[in-house]
Chains A and B, each alone.
Chain A
Amino acid sequence: MAAVNDFLLKGEWLILVYFLGVNSFYGLLLVSSALELRRHRRRFWQEDYSQLLSSAVAPRISILAPAYNEAATVTQSVKALLTLRYPNLEVVLINDGSSDTTMEVLIRDFELIAVHPVYHRVVQHKPLVGYYRSQANPRLVVADKVNGGKADALNAGMNIAQGDLACAIDADTIIEPDAMLRMVQPFLVDDQVVGTGGTIRVANSAVVKSGRVLEARAPHRPLIGIQVMEYLRAFFVGRLGWNRLGGNLIISGAFGLFRRDSVLAAGGYMEGTVGEDMELVVRLRRLGHEKRLHNRIVFVPDPVAWTEVPSTLKVLGRQRDRWHRGLSDVLWRNRGLFLNPRYGVLGLMVYPSFVLVELLAPVIEAVGLIGLGVGIGTGGVAWEFAVLFFLVAYGYAVVLDVLTLLLEELSYRRYRRLRDRLWLLLWAAMGAVGYRQLTVYWRLRGIWKFLRGKTDWGHMARTGFRTS
């Protein structure tokens, strides 16, 4: 028994050191993020974005919006996309074999007329069953295709699009009016940039009118409030921090801008994975190294897209399970990068960090918690150690969350009301116990499903945005 307890305790110490390392790494990302934010704000101090609006050589942007059973929201979403401030914009909506009335709604609301598809099929996708142009707004193109999943729909969009740049979004994402003017900036100053990502914020309790977010509000429901904090941490700290530490591996599928010819040359979005957005970014970066193209992926903090997050545990669980399956799949497919000096910082730092800090975290955390429970039960672990474990694993995380809120307060301050900030503080504190352990379970389920080869998406029920 003594040997078992000794083994348990040594294991727990190792896991504690792991948490200390992971949280300190997040702390490093936070510092990197703060520095990057300062650089970004200096770079765009008094920037006159209107100059780009009148440019004759502004690159053409095609917004690719895949839609599947979005009849309730598709009109508002498309109208919002068509009013984005950008001089050379095209909206390509891909109806991915919806079984509801999405297509009928589009035909009615945008006066669509069927035309023959004239496009170059560079990457493969399921066949088109219809191709439409809007008489009401010539910038809108709608492709109706056989259902093939999001990656397939985006590949169809990549083929059909005419833009130099293609912006992949979710059809229910609300993009801020000047987001494209901001998101395109890295492409204008560096021709090695092949992809940029913007910030995603939670719209569930925001005030929305005519497809625009008028005011950010902190949710009063714990499940949504804690997700607001998660998104803040992931985008505002994680993605931005990586800009300085070797570049991002993820651009959110809900809002990412890519050089279209680079994506087509790389073979488009990969089907058969639920992490097609991350897979594309990793492949673009990997090919950049292999072909000496120096492809760069940049995260830009101020273009903002708003999205609805799951409001029930069941849907949230499915989403997190899918995200982790996608992460597992992409990292497995690209395992050749691991500690491979040929890929420079990507292989030696970025990829290993994603394996250690993102992929294996739920496994290690679960082992740590179970070991702690068993250790306390058998008397092998003292209560003081348990307290220390929680302080290092979760207390440290709460401190980082508060510092993330501080960074938001000192920079963008999207939550204007004092009470909203207090709510967010409450959710930062509450996220560590209960919710965090649930995500561990969901992510473990994701790994398990990945190992069993499951690639389904699951259903995401949407409740719609709160309108003023």
Chain B
Amino acid sequence: MTTISGDLLVTVIVVELMVLMVGLAVLMAHALYTGMRRRRRDAALRAAGAALQSALDDPGSTPAVLGPLIELSPRQQIETLCAVATSLGGMQRQRLAAFAQELGILGAAGDKCRSRLWWKRLQGARLLSLLGTGESVVPGLLEDPNPVVRTEAVRWVAGHPKDPAVDRLLAMLGADHLAPFAVEDSLIRIGETLTPRLAEHLLVASDDALRAGLRVAVSLAGSALLPPGLKLCESEDPEARALSAELIGATGGEAAVEVLTRMVRDPEPKCRAAAAQALGRLGHWPAASSLAELLGDRAWEVRQHAGAALRSLGSPGMLFLRRSLSSDDPFAADVARQMLDLPDSAIRGI
């Protein structure tokens, strides 16, 4: 029998006990400390929040009324400001930024934006975003090597749509696979003022940049976007054609209807489906016969959208659907039967 040295056993027991005791001590100390601190801290935060709210409500108030806020630690001050920032706009937000300036928070946030640590840059950018300021430092973060920081800067641009930053966002469309959602979302939030620049972008962009631009254009659907939309319906890229069909369906007009009626014969199923959907959205009843032809299309998504479009055309479309019930084409008859049985809520979901 091989025996274990007593020293080894004791060493293992001591090491395990030590780690266990340290873990337990930290756990219990933290639990007790946070328990005791919570009540006092919560009261202080409530008082500071109330002082801040009354200062924001009263334009004549001075930073002096922020006594309870000043007494908090910088971290708690930031927490208090951030808690109200998201629900503020206009003058109140400017006042909040002014208070943050008084407390030295804005300066610290600006410094953080220049930190070499990604999370500090993120904190700085986020704080400045929440407070609605940061014109001097945040645009520079659009080129940040860290995608999370870059994304925050992209979100900031939606609230500060100055020309160079918007141009940078347009250049990032489809090019930054680490922030695709943020770029598109921010551009959409900029709204109507973006449409002339976006129209220019659509005319020169290609591939992913074009497709991303078209997705933004579909959401904005301004009249300035109709000409590029019409032009891009002739694009060689099927996805761009499908998105363009969606775009011109959203903007509307005679020219759009003409192009869409032609597009129901596009060689690509997704383009035919998009054209059918757009015609349904426009409620263009003269297109009903073209749409009825698509009920027998070989692609399922085309049949589905053509059926739904006919439903949304009202009486003329319903007439074609009923006729298709007795069609020799089993696909057309099946789609018609399905569409005639669906409630409106289901059609909206398609």
Q: Which residues does A use to contact B, with CB under 8 Å?
A: 5, 9, 39, 42-43, 45-48, 50-51, 55-57, 59, 90, 113, 115-118, 120, 133, 135, 138, 141, 162, 187-192, 379-382, 384-385, 387-388, 391-392, 395-396, 398-399, 402-403, 405-406, 409-410, 413, 418, 421, 425
User: CA separation between A113 and B155, bound complex, in Å?
Assistant: 42
Please determine whether A116 and B338 come into contact, CB atoms closer than 8 angstroms. Answer: yes
Instruction: Provide the residues of chain A in CB contact with B185, threshold 8 Å.
Output: 51, 55-57
Q: How many A-B residue pairs have CB under 8 A?
A: 143
Q: Does B182 contact A (CB under 8 A)?
A: yes
User: CA separation between A385 and B5, bound complex, in Å?
Assistant: 9
A416 to chain B, nearest CB (A): 9
Q: Does B39 contact A (CB under 8 A)?
A: no
CB nearest neighbor in B for A415: B31
Q: Does B301 contact A (CB under 8 A)?
A: yes
Question: Contact string, B320-347, partner A, CB cutoff 8 A, digits 1/0?
Answer: 0000000000000000011101110110
Given contacts A57-B188, A189-B182, A387-B9, contact A403 B148 (CB under 8 A): no
Q: Does B180 contact A (CB under 8 A)?
A: yes
Given contacts A46-B130, A56-B219, contact A385 B122 (CB under 8 A): no
Please determine whether B342 and A379 come into contact, CB atoms closer than 8 angstroms. Answer: no
Cβ < 8 Å to A, chain B residues 126-184: 126-127, 130, 147-148, 151, 155, 177-182, 184
Given contacts A120-B300, A191-B180, A406-B23, contact A388 B4 (CB under 8 A): yes
User: CA separation between A255 and B177, bound complex, in Å?
Assistant: 26
Instruction: Provide the residues of chain A in CB contact with B32, threshold 8 Å.
Output: 418
Q: A47-B126, A56-B219 are in contact. List 15 more A-B contacts (CB 8 A).
A: A45-B119, A46-B123, A48-B130, A55-B185, A57-B184, A57-B188, A116-B341, A118-B339, A118-B346, A118-B350, A187-B181, A191-B177, A379-B1, A380-B1, A392-B12
A/B interface sample: 19 pairs, CB < 8 A: A43-B119, A50-B86, A56-B219, A57-B185, A113-B343, A118-B304, A118-B307, A118-B339, A120-B304, A133-B343, A187-B181, A189-B147, A189-B151, A382-B2, A387-B9, A388-B8, A391-B16, A392-B12, A425-B24
User: CA separation between A156 and B119, bound complex, in Å?
Assistant: 42
CB nearest neighbor in A for B187: A57
Please determine whether B126 and A396 come into contact, CB atoms closer than 8 angstroms. Answer: no
A158 to chain B, nearest CB (A): 16
Instruction: Provide the residues of chain A in CB contact with B301, threshold 8 Å.
Output: 120
Q: Which of A9, A133, A409 contacts B346 (CB 8 A)?
A: A133
Instruction: Provide the residues of chain B in CB contact with A418, threshold 8 Å.
Output: 31-32, 35
Instruction: Provide the residues of chain B in CB contact with A59, threshold 8 Å.
Output: 181
User: CA separation between A398 and B27, bound complex, in Å?
Assistant: 15
Instruction: Provide the residues of chain B in CB contact with A43, threshold 8 Å.
Output: 119, 122, 148
Centre residue among A47, A90, A191, A406 by max chain B CB count within 10 A:
A406
Please determine whether B9 and A133 come into contact, CB atoms closer than 8 angstroms. Answer: no
User: CA separation between A405 and B23, bound complex, in Å?
Assistant: 9
Instruction: Provide the residues of chain B in CB contact with A135, threshold 8 Å.
Output: 343, 345
A295 to chain B, nearest CB (A): 14
User: CA separation between A399 and B307, bound complex, in Å?
Assistant: 64
Instruction: Provide the residues of chain B in CB contact with A48, threshold 8 Å.
Output: 86, 130
CB nearest neighbor in B for A38: B119
Please determine whether A395 and B1 come into contact, CB atoms closer than 8 angstroms. Answer: no
